[in-house]
């Protein structure tokens, strides 16, 4: 590795780190105030700079939210795919997916909130077609796990599968809207109780 190479590499690394910093600030504002309602001046303010200066780092406001969402989704699907590839039973897969989801919420809370609030709107644009595609895979994945569970006789068969899917999907992801990583309960414990609630219900015995 030549010195020239190392310099240009560390420069690129510093640049990438700055981008990540700015995206972190942007994600916070987008998540708390909504993407459409957020101005680039507010994002810049949160990052300690002026509105126009953001355009040295990013092409547009749209490309910021694009990078925020695609980074999160790439990581999330990598985690899901690891679970799906490990040949677990339906019930174990279910639990592992929920646990992985909460780990995602823990790690990418802002991105998850943005994804939930804005994906329907953003998805209409061709640039964000991967959002709809992600939701399709999501549905496919959960339905497959749930169907397998019903087949194996581990999940009850008297409920509408589509309803079951929405129930699971929603109960897991809405947690992002109230979850705080510094809260009373750690992510793992929340996941455990969630799984218990969904699997066994809230009735006593």
Q: Which among 66, 186, 36 is positioned nearest to 126, based on CA atoms?
A: 66
User: What is the C-alpha radius of gyration for the chain, rounded to an integer number of angstroms?
Assistant: 20
Binding marks (x or -) toward a copy of itself, 104..133, rule CB under 8 A? Answer: -------------x---x------------
- The correct pick among 6, 9, 13, 15 for binding DNA (CB under 7 A) is 15
For residues 176 and 72, the answer to whether their CB atoms sit within 8 Å is: no
Residues 29-58 touching DNA, rule: CB under 7 A, are: 38-41, 44, 48-57
Residues 42-81 touching a copy of itself, rule: CB under 8 A, are: none
Q: Quickly tell me which residue has 């126009």 as its tokens.
A: 52
| 174 is a contact residue toward a copy of itself (CB under 8 A) | yes
Q: Which does 34 bind (CB under 5 to 8 A by kind): DNA, a copy of itself, none?
A: a copy of itself
Shortest Å, Cβ 36 to DNA: 8
- How far CA 18 is from CA of 23, 62, 103, 114, in Å, comes to 9, 18, 25, 21
Shortest Å, Cβ 67 to DNA: 13
Residues 128-157 touching a copy of itself, rule: CB under 8 A, are: 153-157
Give the single-character DSSP code of 52. G
- The correct pick among 27, 29, 73, 164 for binding a copy of itself (CB under 8 A) is 164
Q: Is 87 left (phi over 0), alpha (psi -120 to 50) or beta?
A: left
For residues 79 and 57, the answer to whether their CB atoms sit within 8 Å is: no
- The correct pick among 126, 178, 180, 182 for binding a copy of itself (CB under 8 A) is 178
Contacts of 201 (CB under 8 A, 6+ apart): none
Shortest Å, Cβ 136 to a copy of itself: 15
* Contact residues for DNA, defined by CB under 7 A: 7, 11, 14-15, 18, 38-41, 44, 48-57, 59-62
């Amino acid at each position: 590795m030549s010195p020239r190479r190392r310099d240009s590499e560390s420069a690129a690394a510093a640049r990438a780190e700055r981008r990540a910093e700015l995206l972190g600030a942007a994600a916070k504002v987008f998540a708390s105030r909504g993407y459409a309602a957020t101005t680039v001046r507010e994002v810049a303010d949160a990052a300690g700079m002026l509105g126009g200066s953001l355009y040295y780092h990013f092409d547009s406001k749209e490309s910021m939210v694009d990078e925020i969402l695609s980074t999160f989704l790439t990581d999330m699907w990598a985690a899901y795919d690891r679970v799906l590839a490990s040949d677990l039973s339906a019930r174990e897969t279910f639990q592992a997916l929920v646990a992985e989801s909460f780990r995602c919420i823990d790690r990418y809370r802002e991105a998850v909130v943005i994804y939930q609030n804005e994906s329907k709107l953003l998805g209409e644009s061709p640039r964000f077609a991967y959002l709809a595609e992600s939701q399709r895979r999501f549905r496919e994945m959960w339905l497959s796990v749930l169907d397998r569970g019903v087949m194996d006789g581990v999940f009850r068969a008297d409920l509408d599968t589509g309803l079951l899917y929405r129930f699971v999907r929603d109960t897991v992801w809405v947690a992002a809207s109230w979850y705080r990583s510094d809260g009373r309960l750690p992510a793992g414990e929340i996941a455990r109780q969630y799984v218990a609630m969904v699997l066994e219900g809230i009735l006593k015995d």
